[in-house]
Copies of this chain bind each other. A is one copy, B any other.
Amino acid sequence: MPKRGENMVVETQEEKPAIMERLHRVGITNLKTVARINWKGRTYTFIPTFEITIDVPAEKKGIHMSRLVESITEAMSEAVEEEVMRAHTSLEELGRCIIGRLEDKHPHRRAEVWIRTHLIIPRETPASKKTSYEPYDVEVGVIKSENGSFEKVLRVRVIGNTACPHAMANNDGKTHIQRAVGELEVRTTFDEEIALEDMIDVVESSFSHPTYTLLKTVDENAVVQGMFANPKFVEDVAREIFAKAKERFKGRIHVKVISNESIHKHDVIAETWS
């Protein structure tokens, strides 16, 4: 083991490890920090959760974790300190900017940045036409592979519902209804332009009916009538998301729908991918 002199730091990370295996992903996870995004001329502040990893070659014991944090916090403070003008225009642009800073700080062959946050989107309710603010979970991954090319993974998670067509056919129009959650992932090249908002629309429009945070009685009636007019299995919801996503987005598609059945204590799942 190297000796440590006056003001000298031992860099244990640079030593040869006992077991020489390359590791694909080493880094930091569950890091919460502030991010500021300038999107369509308006600034949004988030407190996303970050994961950032690089690979470690077989002959190095470890990575310098603080350089990963610095890449995040420097990219953040660009936005935080220089305000709106320098705010990043999308989560994936922020992710790529973090990898860019990392290239100057820490050698690596592959790198990943994952950013998970919530989006709030205003919607108009179906009958009273009031504004309702709807929350969605989104996650963006930026992956630099060994040949230097970049790909991205975009994920949205949307809450909706299903009204069972089987029970409806067997009960003279009565049926069981429940909350369902739809997830859509698109994995594509970095430069492919796909808005998270469009992915959210694809999922939200595929349920028996969209849901709203604010519903006056006339809106509630419209949602109830809409659900009964559009009964769907989780299978139907998954197929509709899948078909729409294949048509609108270029890339590999993964769809998962989980329904919190109102007649069972367990959930029902439908999943498919391209």
Taking Cβ atoms with an 8 Å cutoff, the residues of A that contact B are: 1-2, 4, 9-13, 17-19, 21-34, 44-47, 51, 53, 56, 61-63, 65-66, 69-70, 73, 76-77, 118, 120, 131-135, 159, 161, 165-167, 169-171, 173-179, 209, 211-218, 220-221, 223-225, 227-228, 233-236, 238-240, 242-243, 258, 260-273
- How far is A46 from B32 in the complex, measured between Cα atoms in Å? 13
| Cβ-defined contact, B260 with A260, below 8 A | yes
Bound form: Cα–Cα A30–B179 in Å: 14
In the complex, the answer to whether B170 meets A221 with C-beta atoms within 8 Å is yes
Are A133 and B179 CB-contacts (below 8 A) given A23-B235, A263-B211?
Answer: no
In the bound assembly, the distance between CA atoms of A265 and B264 in angstroms comes to 20
Contact call B171/A224, Cβ cutoff below 8 A: yes
A32 / chain B contacts, CB cutoff of 8 Å: 118, 120, 135, 265-266
What are the 3 A-B residue pairs with the smallest beta carbon separation, nearest first?
A: A31-B266, A32-B135, A10-B169
Minimum CB distance partner of A135 in chain B:
B32
Enumerate chain B residues within 8 angstroms of A265, measured Cβ to Cβ: 31-32, 134-135, 159, 211, 213
Can you list 12 residue pairs at the A/B interface with Cβ under 8 Å?
A1-B169, A4-B169, A12-B165, A18-B240, A19-B236, A21-B242, A66-B216, A161-B176, A170-B221, A176-B223, A213-B264, A220-B263
| Copies of this protein chain in the complex | 4
A136 to B120, CA, bound (A): 22
**Known contacts A45-B45, A73-B131, A223-B263; can you find 6 more A-B pairs with CB under 8 A?**
A4-B170, A11-B166, A53-B269, A66-B217, A178-B178, A212-B264
A166 to chain B, nearest CB (A): 4
Taking CB atoms, residues of chain B closer than 8 Å to A62 are: 166, 233, 235-236
Give Cα distance in the complex from A252 to B10, angstroms: 36
Residues on B with beta carbons closer than 8 Å to the beta carbon of A261: 179, 211
Contact A177 B177 (CB under 8 A): yes
Given A12-B166, A221-B170, are A24 and B236 neighbors across the interface (CB < 8 Å)?
no
- Smallest CB–CB gap between A260 and chain B, Å? 5
